[in-house]
A and B are shown apart, each in its own frame.
Chain A
Protein backbone atom coordinates (compact mmCIF):
# COMPACT_ATOMS: atom_id res chain seq x y z
CA UNK A 1 0.00 0.00 0.00
CA UNK A 2 2.74 2.36 0.99
CA UNK A 3 4.75 1.62 -2.16
CA UNK A 4 1.61 2.12 -4.17
CA UNK A 5 1.03 5.49 -2.52
CA UNK A 6 4.56 6.61 -3.17
CA UNK A 7 4.54 5.62 -6.80
CA UNK A 8 1.15 7.11 -7.56
CA UNK A 9 1.09 10.05 -5.21
CA UNK A 10 1.12 12.70 -7.95
CA UNK A 11 -1.85 10.95 -9.48
CA UNK A 12 -3.63 10.75 -6.18
CA UNK A 13 -3.07 14.46 -5.73
CA UNK A 14 -4.43 15.21 -9.17
CA UNK A 15 -7.49 13.01 -8.58
CA UNK A 16 -8.21 14.84 -5.34
CA UNK A 17 -7.93 18.18 -7.08
CA UNK A 18 -10.22 17.05 -9.89
CA UNK A 19 -12.80 15.68 -7.45
CA UNK A 20 -12.94 19.06 -5.70
CA UNK A 21 -13.44 20.85 -9.00
CA UNK A 22 -16.23 18.44 -9.91
CA UNK A 23 -17.97 19.04 -6.59
CA UNK A 24 -17.75 22.77 -7.17
CA UNK A 25 -19.22 22.41 -10.64
CA UNK A 26 -22.06 20.39 -9.16
CA UNK A 27 -22.70 23.12 -6.59
CA UNK A 28 -22.91 25.67 -9.38
CA UNK A 29 -25.14 23.41 -11.44
CA UNK A 30 -27.71 22.77 -8.74
CA UNK A 31 -27.89 26.37 -7.61
CA UNK A 32 -28.25 27.99 -11.01
CA UNK A 33 -31.34 28.57 -13.08
CA UNK A 34 -30.86 28.17 -16.80
CA UNK A 35 -29.55 31.48 -18.09
CA UNK A 36 -31.99 32.91 -20.60
CA UNK A 37 -30.02 35.75 -22.11
CA UNK A 38 -26.51 36.30 -23.36
CA UNK A 39 -25.82 38.63 -20.47
CA UNK A 40 -26.93 35.99 -18.01
CA UNK A 41 -24.67 33.47 -19.70
CA UNK A 42 -21.71 35.80 -19.37
CA UNK A 43 -22.56 36.27 -15.72
CA UNK A 44 -22.70 32.53 -15.17
CA UNK A 45 -19.39 32.05 -16.99
CA UNK A 46 -18.01 34.75 -14.69
CA UNK A 47 -19.31 32.92 -11.64
CA UNK A 48 -17.77 29.66 -12.79
CA UNK A 49 -14.37 31.19 -13.44
CA UNK A 50 -14.57 32.93 -10.08
CA UNK A 51 -15.41 29.68 -8.31
CA UNK A 52 -12.55 27.84 -9.99
CA UNK A 53 -10.10 30.63 -9.26
CA UNK A 54 -11.15 30.66 -5.61
CA UNK A 55 -10.80 26.89 -5.45
CA UNK A 56 -7.35 26.86 -7.01
CA UNK A 57 -6.25 29.48 -4.50
CA UNK A 58 -6.99 26.92 -1.79
CA UNK A 59 -4.81 24.43 -3.66
CA UNK A 60 -2.06 27.02 -3.94
CA UNK A 61 -2.26 27.68 -0.21
CA UNK A 62 -1.89 23.97 0.47
CA UNK A 63 1.06 23.77 -1.90
CA UNK A 64 2.63 26.75 -0.13
CA UNK A 65 2.20 25.06 3.22
CA UNK A 66 5.08 22.71 2.35
CA UNK A 67 3.31 19.68 3.73
CA UNK A 68 5.98 17.13 4.61
CA UNK A 69 3.96 14.42 2.91
CA UNK A 70 3.81 16.26 -0.41
CA UNK A 71 7.36 17.55 -0.16
CA UNK A 72 8.74 14.08 0.37
CA UNK A 73 6.59 12.20 -2.08
CA UNK A 74 6.01 14.59 -4.92
CA UNK A 75 9.23 16.50 -4.51
CA UNK A 76 9.88 20.16 -3.93
CA UNK A 77 10.97 21.06 -7.43
CA UNK A 78 7.99 19.37 -9.00
CA UNK A 79 5.70 21.06 -6.48
CA UNK A 80 7.28 24.37 -7.40
CA UNK A 81 6.53 23.77 -11.07
CA UNK A 82 2.95 22.81 -10.27
CA UNK A 83 2.72 25.90 -8.10
CA UNK A 84 3.84 28.23 -10.87
CA UNK A 85 1.51 26.54 -13.36
CA UNK A 86 -1.51 26.73 -11.06
CA UNK A 87 -0.54 30.27 -10.12
CA UNK A 88 -0.61 31.42 -13.72
CA UNK A 89 -3.91 29.70 -14.25
CA UNK A 90 -5.41 31.43 -11.22
CA UNK A 91 -4.31 34.81 -12.53
CA UNK A 92 -5.97 34.13 -15.89
CA UNK A 93 -9.16 32.84 -14.28
CA UNK A 94 -9.33 35.84 -11.97
CA UNK A 95 -9.02 38.28 -14.84
CA UNK A 96 -11.64 36.35 -16.84
CA UNK A 97 -13.93 36.34 -13.80
CA UNK A 98 -13.74 40.11 -13.39
CA UNK A 99 -14.33 40.89 -17.05
CA UNK A 100 -17.16 38.38 -17.48
CA UNK A 101 -19.03 39.52 -14.39
CA UNK A 102 -18.63 43.12 -15.41
CA UNK A 103 -19.96 42.54 -18.93
CA UNK A 104 -22.65 40.13 -17.80
CA UNK A 105 -23.95 42.45 -15.10
CA UNK A 106 -23.92 45.42 -17.42
CA UNK A 107 -25.93 43.52 -20.02
CA UNK A 108 -28.55 42.09 -17.67
CA UNK A 109 -28.95 45.40 -15.88
CA UNK A 110 -29.07 47.27 -19.19
CA UNK A 111 -26.47 49.63 -17.86
CA UNK A 112 -23.46 51.20 -19.52
CA UNK A 113 -20.06 49.67 -18.82
CA UNK A 114 -18.80 52.72 -16.98
CA UNK A 115 -21.88 52.96 -14.82
CA UNK A 116 -21.82 49.25 -14.10
CA UNK A 117 -18.19 49.43 -13.06
CA UNK A 118 -18.91 52.12 -10.49
CA UNK A 119 -21.89 50.12 -9.30
CA UNK A 120 -19.75 47.04 -8.91
CA UNK A 121 -16.99 48.79 -7.06
CA UNK A 122 -19.14 50.90 -4.77
CA UNK A 123 -22.40 49.00 -4.42
CA UNK A 124 -21.13 45.56 -3.53
CA UNK A 125 -19.51 44.60 -0.29
CA UNK A 126 -15.77 44.03 -0.61
CA UNK A 127 -15.69 43.94 -4.40
CA UNK A 128 -13.29 46.87 -4.39
CA UNK A 129 -11.04 44.94 -2.03
CA UNK A 130 -11.22 41.94 -4.30
CA UNK A 131 -10.22 44.01 -7.30
CA UNK A 132 -7.19 45.29 -5.39
CA UNK A 133 -6.39 41.69 -4.44
CA UNK A 134 -6.65 40.65 -8.07
CA UNK A 135 -4.30 43.49 -8.97
CA UNK A 136 -1.74 42.00 -6.56
CA UNK A 137 -2.17 38.58 -8.17
CA UNK A 138 -1.53 40.04 -11.59
CA UNK A 139 1.51 41.92 -10.32
CA UNK A 140 3.02 38.78 -8.81
CA UNK A 141 2.16 36.83 -11.94
CA UNK A 142 3.95 39.35 -14.13
CA UNK A 143 7.03 39.40 -11.89
CA UNK A 144 7.15 35.60 -11.89
CA UNK A 145 6.92 35.39 -15.67
CA UNK A 146 10.16 33.99 -16.99
CA UNK A 147 11.18 37.10 -18.88
CA UNK A 148 10.83 39.42 -15.90
CA UNK A 149 11.88 36.92 -13.25
CA UNK A 150 15.48 36.82 -14.43
CA UNK A 151 15.74 40.58 -14.06
CA UNK A 152 14.56 40.95 -10.49
CA UNK A 153 16.50 39.74 -7.48
CA UNK A 154 15.37 36.69 -5.57
CA UNK A 155 14.53 38.85 -2.57
CA UNK A 156 12.27 41.19 -4.55
CA UNK A 157 10.56 38.22 -6.10
CA UNK A 158 10.12 36.60 -2.72
CA UNK A 159 8.81 39.72 -0.97
CA UNK A 160 6.36 40.35 -3.79
CA UNK A 161 5.17 36.81 -3.43
CA UNK A 162 4.23 37.55 0.14
CA UNK A 163 1.71 40.02 -1.31
CA UNK A 164 -0.31 37.12 -2.66
CA UNK A 165 -1.35 36.37 0.91
CA UNK A 166 -2.71 39.90 1.15
CA UNK A 167 -4.38 39.43 -2.23
CA UNK A 168 -6.03 36.21 -1.12
CA UNK A 169 -7.28 37.82 2.08
CA UNK A 170 -8.65 40.82 0.18
CA UNK A 171 -10.43 38.64 -2.36
CA UNK A 172 -11.92 36.27 0.18
CA UNK A 173 -14.65 38.46 1.67
CA UNK A 174 -16.51 39.25 -1.52
CA UNK A 175 -16.79 35.53 -2.24
CA UNK A 176 -18.66 34.95 0.98
CA UNK A 177 -20.74 38.13 0.91
CA UNK A 178 -21.71 38.32 -2.75
CA UNK A 179 -21.06 34.86 -4.20
CA UNK A 180 -24.27 33.56 -5.76
CA UNK A 181 -23.42 30.05 -4.58
CA UNK A 182 -22.60 31.04 -1.02
CA UNK A 183 -25.01 33.80 -0.01
CA UNK A 184 -28.13 31.65 -0.15
CA UNK A 185 -26.54 28.35 0.85
CA UNK A 186 -25.17 28.08 4.36
CA UNK A 187 -23.68 24.64 3.83
CA UNK A 188 -21.71 25.74 0.79
CA UNK A 189 -20.70 28.93 2.57
CA UNK A 190 -19.35 27.18 5.61
CA UNK A 191 -17.71 24.54 3.47
CA UNK A 192 -15.89 27.26 1.58
CA UNK A 193 -14.88 29.09 4.73
CA UNK A 194 -13.75 25.76 6.15
CA UNK A 195 -11.56 25.00 3.14
CA UNK A 196 -9.84 28.37 3.37
CA UNK A 197 -9.47 28.06 7.12
CA UNK A 198 -8.00 24.57 6.85
CA UNK A 199 -5.53 25.62 4.16
CA UNK A 200 -4.48 28.65 6.19
CA UNK A 201 -4.13 26.53 9.30
CA UNK A 202 -1.83 24.10 7.46
CA UNK A 203 0.18 27.01 6.20
CA UNK A 204 0.57 28.61 9.60
CA UNK A 205 1.30 25.30 11.26
CA UNK A 206 3.98 24.07 8.91
CA UNK A 207 5.59 27.34 7.95
CA UNK A 208 5.42 29.23 11.19
CA UNK A 209 4.68 27.16 14.25
CA UNK A 210 6.70 24.04 13.45
CA UNK A 211 9.90 25.96 12.60
CA UNK A 212 9.50 28.07 15.73
CA UNK A 213 8.87 24.97 17.83
CA UNK A 214 11.95 23.40 16.30
CA UNK A 215 14.10 26.24 17.57
CA UNK A 216 13.50 24.96 21.07
CA UNK A 217 13.28 21.36 20.14
CA UNK A 218 16.47 21.00 18.20
CA UNK A 219 18.50 24.03 19.23
CA UNK A 220 20.49 23.91 16.05
CA UNK A 221 23.73 25.81 15.96
CA UNK A 222 26.84 26.03 13.86
CA UNK A 223 29.43 23.70 15.37
CA UNK A 224 32.23 23.98 12.82
CA UNK A 225 33.01 25.43 9.43
CA UNK A 226 35.43 23.85 6.99
CA UNK A 227 36.63 25.19 3.65
CA UNK A 228 36.21 22.59 0.92
CA UNK A 229 37.32 24.57 -2.12
CA UNK A 230 37.67 28.25 -3.03
CA UNK A 231 34.25 29.76 -2.22
CA UNK A 232 32.82 26.54 -0.85
CA UNK A 233 32.43 25.80 2.87
CA UNK A 234 30.91 22.95 4.78
CA UNK A 235 28.88 23.99 7.81
CA UNK A 236 28.40 21.43 10.55
CA UNK A 237 25.29 21.82 12.67
CA UNK A 238 24.68 20.21 16.02
CA UNK A 239 21.60 20.18 18.17
CA UNK A 240 19.22 18.13 20.25
CA UNK A 241 17.07 15.24 19.06
CA UNK A 242 18.36 15.36 15.52
CA UNK A 243 16.92 11.97 14.64
CA UNK A 244 13.44 13.37 15.33
CA UNK A 245 13.90 15.46 12.21
CA UNK A 246 13.54 12.31 10.16
CA UNK A 247 15.98 13.60 7.59
CA UNK A 248 17.05 11.33 4.75
CA UNK A 249 20.07 11.49 2.50
CA UNK A 250 19.24 13.52 -0.61
CA UNK A 251 16.96 15.93 1.21
CA UNK A 252 17.51 19.58 1.93
CA UNK A 253 16.58 22.06 4.62
CA UNK A 254 15.72 25.72 4.54
CA UNK A 255 18.11 27.40 6.88
CA UNK A 256 17.99 30.77 8.52
CA UNK A 257 21.27 31.76 10.12
CA UNK A 258 20.47 34.03 13.03
CA UNK A 259 23.15 36.67 12.63
CA UNK A 260 22.49 40.38 12.57
CA UNK A 261 22.50 40.62 8.80
CA UNK A 262 21.26 37.24 7.67
CA UNK A 263 18.40 36.36 10.03
CA UNK A 264 15.68 37.53 7.67
CA UNK A 265 16.63 35.26 4.78
CA UNK A 266 16.00 31.56 4.56
CA UNK A 267 17.73 29.54 1.83
CA UNK A 268 17.61 25.91 0.85
CA UNK A 269 20.70 23.73 1.30
CA UNK A 270 21.05 20.02 0.77
CA UNK A 271 22.45 17.76 3.44
CA UNK A 272 25.90 16.87 2.17
CA UNK A 273 26.40 13.91 4.49
CA UNK A 274 23.99 11.15 5.39
CA UNK A 275 22.08 12.29 8.48
CA UNK A 276 23.24 10.88 11.79
CA UNK A 277 22.13 11.51 15.38
CA UNK A 278 24.99 13.87 16.28
CA UNK A 279 25.38 16.37 13.46
CA UNK A 280 24.08 17.63 10.12
CA UNK A 281 26.23 19.05 7.38
CA UNK A 282 25.48 21.43 4.54
CA UNK A 283 27.97 22.59 1.98
CA UNK A 284 27.55 26.06 0.61
CA UNK A 285 28.97 27.62 -2.51
CA UNK A 286 29.26 31.40 -2.75
CA UNK A 287 26.93 32.41 -5.55
CA UNK A 288 25.53 35.68 -4.27
CA UNK A 289 25.49 38.06 -1.30
CA UNK A 290 24.02 35.68 1.16
CA UNK A 291 26.11 32.65 0.33
CA UNK A 292 29.15 34.96 0.28
CA UNK A 293 28.38 36.02 3.87
CA UNK A 294 27.98 32.43 4.96
CA UNK A 295 31.57 31.68 4.01
CA UNK A 296 32.51 33.56 7.18
CA UNK A 297 29.83 32.22 9.49
CA UNK A 298 31.00 31.72 13.07
CA UNK A 299 30.64 28.60 15.17
CA UNK A 300 27.98 29.14 17.81
CA UNK A 301 25.55 30.90 15.47
CA UNK A 302 21.97 29.76 16.10
CA UNK A 303 20.14 28.32 13.10
CA UNK A 304 16.44 28.08 12.42
CA UNK A 305 15.62 25.16 10.16
CA UNK A 306 12.60 24.22 8.10
CA UNK A 307 12.32 20.79 6.63
CA UNK A 308 13.74 18.38 5.73
CA UNK A 309 12.17 18.58 2.31
CA UNK A 310 12.73 16.92 -1.02
CA UNK A 311 11.99 13.63 -2.71
CA UNK A 312 15.43 12.87 -4.12
CA UNK A 313 15.83 10.03 -1.65
CA UNK A 314 16.46 6.30 -1.56
CA UNK A 315 12.70 5.73 -1.68
CA UNK A 316 12.72 6.64 -5.33
CA UNK A 317 15.03 3.79 -6.20
CA UNK A 318 13.42 0.87 -8.04
CA UNK A 319 16.49 -1.04 -9.34
CA UNK A 320 19.57 -2.53 -7.75
CA UNK A 321 21.96 -0.50 -9.85
CA UNK A 322 22.20 3.28 -9.53
CA UNK A 323 24.05 6.02 -11.39
CA UNK A 324 24.44 9.43 -9.77
CA UNK A 325 25.26 12.41 -11.98
CA UNK A 326 26.43 15.59 -10.24
CA UNK A 327 27.28 19.00 -11.62
CA UNK A 328 29.23 21.56 -9.56
CA UNK A 329 27.81 22.18 -6.10
CA UNK A 330 24.93 19.88 -7.06
CA UNK A 331 27.14 17.14 -5.73
CA UNK A 332 25.95 17.88 -2.17
CA UNK A 333 22.81 15.71 -2.05
CA UNK A 334 24.45 13.06 -4.24
CA UNK A 335 27.40 12.92 -1.87
CA UNK A 336 24.97 11.95 0.90
CA UNK A 337 23.25 9.41 -1.34
CA UNK A 338 26.54 7.98 -2.53
CA UNK A 339 27.37 7.26 1.06
CA UNK A 340 24.08 5.69 2.08
CA UNK A 341 22.00 4.59 -0.91
CA UNK A 342 21.47 0.85 -0.84
CA UNK A 343 22.79 -0.60 -4.09
CA UNK A 344 24.25 -3.85 -5.29
CA UNK A 345 27.99 -4.09 -4.88
CA UNK A 346 29.76 -2.74 -7.93
CA UNK A 347 26.59 -1.26 -9.36
CA UNK A 348 26.79 2.21 -7.83
CA UNK A 349 28.46 4.87 -9.95
CA UNK A 350 28.94 8.59 -9.38
CA UNK A 351 29.73 10.82 -12.35
CA UNK A 352 30.90 14.20 -11.13
CA UNK A 353 31.11 17.04 -13.60
CA UNK A 354 33.04 20.19 -12.62
CA UNK A 355 34.63 22.98 -14.61
CA UNK A 356 37.96 23.20 -12.71
CA UNK A 357 39.96 20.83 -10.57
CA UNK A 358 39.84 23.24 -7.60
CA UNK A 359 36.04 23.16 -7.80
CA UNK A 360 35.85 19.47 -7.14
CA UNK A 361 34.73 19.21 -3.54
CA UNK A 362 34.77 16.13 -1.31
CA UNK A 363 37.32 14.43 -3.56
CA UNK A 364 38.92 12.70 -0.64
CA UNK A 365 35.62 11.66 0.93
CA UNK A 366 34.23 10.41 -2.35
CA UNK A 367 37.27 8.25 -3.07
CA UNK A 368 37.05 6.82 0.42
CA UNK A 369 33.36 5.98 0.11
CA UNK A 370 34.01 4.43 -3.30
CA UNK A 371 36.71 2.19 -1.86
CA UNK A 372 34.55 1.24 1.12
CA UNK A 373 31.47 0.41 -0.86
CA UNK A 374 33.13 -0.95 -3.97
CA UNK A 375 31.49 1.83 -5.89
CA UNK A 376 32.90 3.84 -8.77
CA UNK A 377 33.52 7.61 -9.13
CA UNK A 378 34.29 9.31 -12.42
CA UNK A 379 35.43 12.93 -12.40
CA UNK A 380 34.77 14.81 -15.62
CA UNK A 381 36.65 18.08 -15.31
CA UNK A 382 36.84 20.86 -17.85
CA UNK A 383 35.21 24.16 -18.67
CA UNK A 384 31.60 23.85 -19.80
CA UNK A 385 31.05 24.52 -23.46
CA UNK A 386 30.14 22.94 -26.72
CA UNK A 387 33.37 20.97 -26.94
CA UNK A 388 33.08 19.57 -23.46
CA UNK A 389 29.46 18.62 -22.98
CA UNK A 390 29.91 15.41 -24.97
CA UNK A 391 31.28 14.18 -21.68
CA UNK A 392 27.64 13.40 -20.97
CA UNK A 393 26.99 12.07 -24.45
CA UNK A 394 25.06 8.79 -24.59
CA UNK A 395 28.13 6.98 -25.93
CA UNK A 396 30.19 8.20 -23.00
CA UNK A 397 27.53 7.23 -20.54
CA UNK A 398 27.37 3.74 -22.01
CA UNK A 399 31.12 3.44 -21.84
CA UNK A 400 31.26 4.57 -18.18
CA UNK A 401 28.20 2.60 -17.11
CA UNK A 402 27.55 -0.26 -19.51
CA UNK A 403 24.34 -1.36 -17.78
CA UNK A 404 23.00 2.21 -17.46
CA UNK A 405 19.66 1.27 -19.05
CA UNK A 406 19.01 -1.09 -16.13
CA UNK A 407 19.68 1.47 -13.40
CA UNK A 408 18.02 4.32 -11.58
CA UNK A 409 19.57 7.71 -12.21
CA UNK A 410 19.84 10.54 -9.65
CA UNK A 411 20.79 13.96 -10.98
CA UNK A 412 21.64 17.29 -9.42
CA UNK A 413 23.37 20.21 -11.01
CA UNK A 414 22.93 23.35 -13.10
CA UNK A 415 19.94 23.48 -15.43
CA UNK A 416 21.80 23.14 -18.72
CA UNK A 417 23.82 20.17 -17.60
CA UNK A 418 20.75 18.46 -16.23
CA UNK A 419 18.86 18.82 -19.48
CA UNK A 420 21.77 17.30 -21.41
CA UNK A 421 22.11 14.49 -18.92
CA UNK A 422 18.41 13.67 -18.96
CA UNK A 423 18.36 13.57 -22.75
CA UNK A 424 21.39 11.28 -22.81
CA UNK A 425 19.89 8.97 -20.22
CA UNK A 426 16.67 8.71 -22.17
CA UNK A 427 18.66 7.91 -25.27
CA UNK A 428 20.49 5.18 -23.39
CA UNK A 429 17.12 3.66 -22.61
CA UNK A 430 16.46 4.86 -19.06
CA UNK A 431 12.73 5.58 -18.76
CA UNK A 432 11.71 8.95 -17.33
CA UNK A 433 10.23 7.39 -14.21
CA UNK A 434 13.66 6.13 -13.23
CA UNK A 435 15.35 9.51 -13.64
CA UNK A 436 15.20 11.43 -10.35
CA UNK A 437 16.46 14.96 -10.09
CA UNK A 438 16.54 18.03 -7.91
CA UNK A 439 16.70 21.49 -9.30
CA UNK A 440 18.82 23.96 -7.30
CA UNK A 441 17.46 27.02 -9.01
CA UNK A 442 13.75 27.42 -8.55
Chain B
Protein backbone atom coordinates (compact mmCIF):
# COMPACT_ATOMS: atom_id res chain seq x y z
CA UNK B 1 0.00 0.00 0.00
CA UNK B 2 1.30 3.40 -0.97
CA UNK B 3 1.08 6.31 1.46
CA UNK B 4 -1.89 7.64 -0.42
CA UNK B 5 -3.87 4.41 -0.20
CA UNK B 6 -6.54 4.54 2.48
CA UNK B 7 -7.98 1.10 2.00
CA UNK B 8 -7.32 -1.86 -0.26
CA UNK B 9 -9.68 -4.83 -0.32
CA UNK B 10 -9.92 -7.94 -2.41
CA UNK B 11 -13.56 -8.71 -3.03
CA UNK B 12 -13.97 -12.46 -3.53
CA UNK B 13 -15.94 -13.93 -6.42
CA UNK B 14 -19.74 -13.47 -5.93
CA UNK B 15 -19.30 -11.18 -2.90
CA UNK B 16 -20.70 -7.73 -2.10
CA UNK B 17 -18.69 -4.71 -0.98
CA UNK B 18 -19.43 -1.14 0.01
CA UNK B 19 -17.67 1.98 1.21
CA UNK B 20 -18.14 5.68 1.69
CA UNK B 21 -15.70 7.52 -0.59
CA UNK B 22 -15.04 11.08 0.49
CA UNK B 23 -15.21 14.02 -1.90
CA UNK B 24 -12.01 14.24 -3.93
CA UNK B 25 -10.90 10.72 -3.02
CA UNK B 26 -10.46 8.04 -5.67
CA UNK B 27 -11.73 4.50 -6.02
CA UNK B 28 -9.78 2.13 -8.24
CA UNK B 29 -11.45 -1.08 -9.36
CA UNK B 30 -9.02 -3.71 -10.63
CA UNK B 31 -10.19 -6.68 -12.66
CA UNK B 32 -7.64 -9.10 -11.16
CA UNK B 33 -8.29 -12.10 -13.41
CA UNK B 34 -9.99 -10.42 -16.38
CA UNK B 35 -13.52 -10.42 -17.79
CA UNK B 36 -15.27 -9.95 -14.43
CA UNK B 37 -18.39 -7.77 -14.34
CA UNK B 38 -18.53 -5.41 -11.34
CA UNK B 39 -22.10 -4.25 -10.70
CA UNK B 40 -21.98 -0.78 -9.19
CA UNK B 41 -24.40 1.65 -7.56
CA UNK B 42 -23.51 5.02 -6.05
CA UNK B 43 -25.49 7.31 -3.75
CA UNK B 44 -24.95 10.74 -2.23
CA UNK B 45 -23.68 9.66 1.19
CA UNK B 46 -25.64 12.43 2.90
CA UNK B 47 -28.91 11.93 1.03
CA UNK B 48 -29.40 8.51 -0.51
CA UNK B 49 -32.53 9.64 -2.37
CA UNK B 50 -29.94 11.22 -4.69
CA UNK B 51 -28.45 8.24 -6.47
CA UNK B 52 -26.88 7.10 -9.71
CA UNK B 53 -29.10 7.53 -12.72
CA UNK B 54 -28.24 5.56 -15.84
CA UNK B 55 -30.46 7.76 -18.04
CA UNK B 56 -29.04 11.05 -16.70
CA UNK B 57 -25.53 9.68 -17.22
CA UNK B 58 -26.37 8.63 -20.78
CA UNK B 59 -28.00 12.03 -21.42
CA UNK B 60 -25.03 13.93 -20.07
CA UNK B 61 -22.48 12.33 -22.37
CA UNK B 62 -24.72 11.33 -25.27
CA UNK B 63 -23.30 7.81 -25.16
CA UNK B 64 -24.29 4.54 -23.54
CA UNK B 65 -20.69 3.44 -22.88
CA UNK B 66 -18.58 4.76 -20.01
CA UNK B 67 -14.86 5.50 -20.17
CA UNK B 68 -12.32 8.14 -19.08
CA UNK B 69 -14.07 11.49 -18.71
CA UNK B 70 -17.53 10.03 -18.17
CA UNK B 71 -19.38 11.66 -15.30
CA UNK B 72 -21.73 9.46 -13.27
CA UNK B 73 -24.81 11.63 -12.84
CA UNK B 74 -27.47 11.44 -10.17
CA UNK B 75 -31.23 11.32 -10.65
CA UNK B 76 -31.14 15.06 -9.88
CA UNK B 77 -28.65 15.51 -12.74
CA UNK B 78 -25.75 16.36 -10.46
CA UNK B 79 -22.27 14.73 -10.65
CA UNK B 80 -21.53 11.90 -8.22
CA UNK B 81 -18.23 10.53 -9.57
CA UNK B 82 -16.00 10.97 -12.62
CA UNK B 83 -14.03 8.27 -14.45
CA UNK B 84 -10.49 9.65 -14.36
CA UNK B 85 -8.65 6.61 -15.75
CA UNK B 86 -9.73 3.52 -17.66
CA UNK B 87 -7.62 0.73 -19.18
CA UNK B 88 -10.55 -0.91 -20.96
CA UNK B 89 -12.36 1.74 -23.00
CA UNK B 90 -16.00 0.97 -22.49
CA UNK B 91 -18.32 -0.16 -19.75
CA UNK B 92 -22.04 -0.89 -19.63
CA UNK B 93 -24.83 1.42 -18.47
CA UNK B 94 -27.79 -0.46 -19.95
CA UNK B 95 -27.94 -4.08 -18.77
CA UNK B 96 -28.57 -3.54 -15.06
CA UNK B 97 -28.08 -6.23 -12.46
CA UNK B 98 -28.84 -9.91 -12.66
CA UNK B 99 -31.50 -11.10 -10.26
CA UNK B 100 -32.94 -14.49 -9.39
CA UNK B 101 -36.15 -13.25 -11.02
CA UNK B 102 -34.63 -12.03 -14.28
CA UNK B 103 -32.53 -15.20 -14.44
CA UNK B 104 -35.75 -17.23 -14.62
CA UNK B 105 -36.69 -15.24 -17.72
CA UNK B 106 -33.29 -15.24 -19.38
CA UNK B 107 -32.22 -18.83 -18.81
CA UNK B 108 -35.03 -20.78 -17.17
CA UNK B 109 -36.42 -21.61 -13.77
CA UNK B 110 -33.53 -23.97 -13.01
CA UNK B 111 -31.39 -20.90 -12.22
CA UNK B 112 -33.52 -19.83 -9.23
CA UNK B 113 -31.15 -21.26 -6.61
CA UNK B 114 -28.13 -19.48 -8.08
CA UNK B 115 -26.57 -16.32 -6.67
CA UNK B 116 -27.41 -12.96 -8.24
CA UNK B 117 -26.38 -9.31 -7.99
CA UNK B 118 -29.69 -7.91 -6.74
CA UNK B 119 -29.40 -10.11 -3.64
CA UNK B 120 -25.93 -8.69 -3.03
CA UNK B 121 -27.24 -5.14 -3.42
CA UNK B 122 -30.15 -5.82 -1.06
CA UNK B 123 -27.94 -7.39 1.60
CA UNK B 124 -25.22 -4.75 1.40
CA UNK B 125 -27.70 -1.83 1.05
CA UNK B 126 -29.59 -3.00 4.14
CA UNK B 127 -26.52 -2.14 6.22
CA UNK B 128 -27.23 1.51 5.36
CA UNK B 129 -31.01 1.37 5.64
CA UNK B 130 -31.46 1.01 1.88
CA UNK B 131 -34.12 -1.33 0.54
CA UNK B 132 -35.59 -2.50 -2.69
CA UNK B 133 -37.03 0.93 -3.48
CA UNK B 134 -33.50 2.28 -3.53
CA UNK B 135 -32.22 -0.03 -6.27
CA UNK B 136 -32.07 1.41 -9.78
CA UNK B 137 -30.39 0.50 -13.07
CA UNK B 138 -26.70 0.16 -12.26
CA UNK B 139 -23.32 0.34 -13.99
CA UNK B 140 -21.59 -2.88 -15.00
CA UNK B 141 -17.88 -2.17 -15.07
CA UNK B 142 -16.00 -4.42 -17.51
CA UNK B 143 -19.22 -5.80 -19.00
CA UNK B 144 -19.51 -5.62 -22.79
CA UNK B 145 -23.03 -4.87 -24.07
CA UNK B 146 -23.08 -3.76 -27.70
CA UNK B 147 -26.24 -2.54 -29.46
CA UNK B 148 -26.69 -3.62 -33.09
CA UNK B 149 -28.24 -1.40 -35.75
CA UNK B 150 -31.66 -3.04 -35.32
CA UNK B 151 -31.54 -2.52 -31.55
CA UNK B 152 -30.50 -6.07 -30.69
CA UNK B 153 -28.53 -5.86 -27.49
CA UNK B 154 -26.79 -8.44 -25.36
CA UNK B 155 -23.96 -9.31 -23.06
CA UNK B 156 -21.07 -10.69 -25.11
CA UNK B 157 -17.49 -11.73 -24.40
CA UNK B 158 -15.66 -9.13 -22.34
CA UNK B 159 -12.82 -6.93 -23.59
CA UNK B 160 -11.09 -6.67 -20.23
CA UNK B 161 -7.99 -8.62 -19.22
CA UNK B 162 -6.21 -9.59 -15.98
CA UNK B 163 -4.91 -6.58 -14.09
CA UNK B 164 -6.78 -3.88 -16.00
CA UNK B 165 -8.31 -1.17 -13.87
CA UNK B 166 -10.34 2.00 -13.83
CA UNK B 167 -10.31 4.89 -11.39
CA UNK B 168 -13.21 7.06 -10.25
CA UNK B 169 -12.98 10.35 -8.39
CA UNK B 170 -15.78 11.19 -5.96
CA UNK B 171 -17.32 14.59 -6.70
CA UNK B 172 -18.95 14.62 -3.27
CA UNK B 173 -19.12 12.20 -0.35
CA UNK B 174 -20.64 9.09 -1.89
CA UNK B 175 -21.76 5.65 -0.77
CA UNK B 176 -20.73 2.94 -3.23
CA UNK B 177 -22.39 -0.49 -3.36
CA UNK B 178 -20.73 -3.23 -5.38
CA UNK B 179 -21.83 -6.70 -6.33
CA UNK B 180 -18.96 -8.70 -7.74
CA UNK B 181 -21.24 -10.41 -10.22
CA UNK B 182 -21.99 -14.10 -9.51
CA UNK B 183 -23.61 -14.72 -12.92
CA UNK B 184 -22.55 -18.02 -14.52
CA UNK B 185 -24.99 -18.25 -17.42
CA UNK B 186 -23.57 -15.59 -19.73
CA UNK B 187 -20.14 -14.41 -20.87
CA UNK B 188 -20.04 -11.39 -18.53
CA UNK B 189 -17.77 -13.29 -16.13
CA UNK B 190 -16.42 -15.76 -18.66
CA UNK B 191 -18.85 -18.25 -17.00
CA UNK B 192 -16.57 -18.25 -13.94
CA UNK B 193 -16.76 -15.36 -11.46
CA UNK B 194 -13.43 -14.19 -10.06
CA UNK B 195 -12.15 -11.74 -7.45
CA UNK B 196 -11.66 -8.01 -7.98
CA UNK B 197 -9.74 -5.42 -5.99
CA UNK B 198 -11.04 -2.13 -4.58
CA UNK B 199 -8.57 0.58 -3.65
CA UNK B 200 -9.59 3.85 -2.06
CA UNK B 201 -7.02 6.61 -2.48
CA UNK B 202 -6.77 9.69 -0.29
CA UNK B 203 -8.17 13.00 -1.57
CA UNK B 204 -5.57 14.96 -3.51
Real binding pair:
no
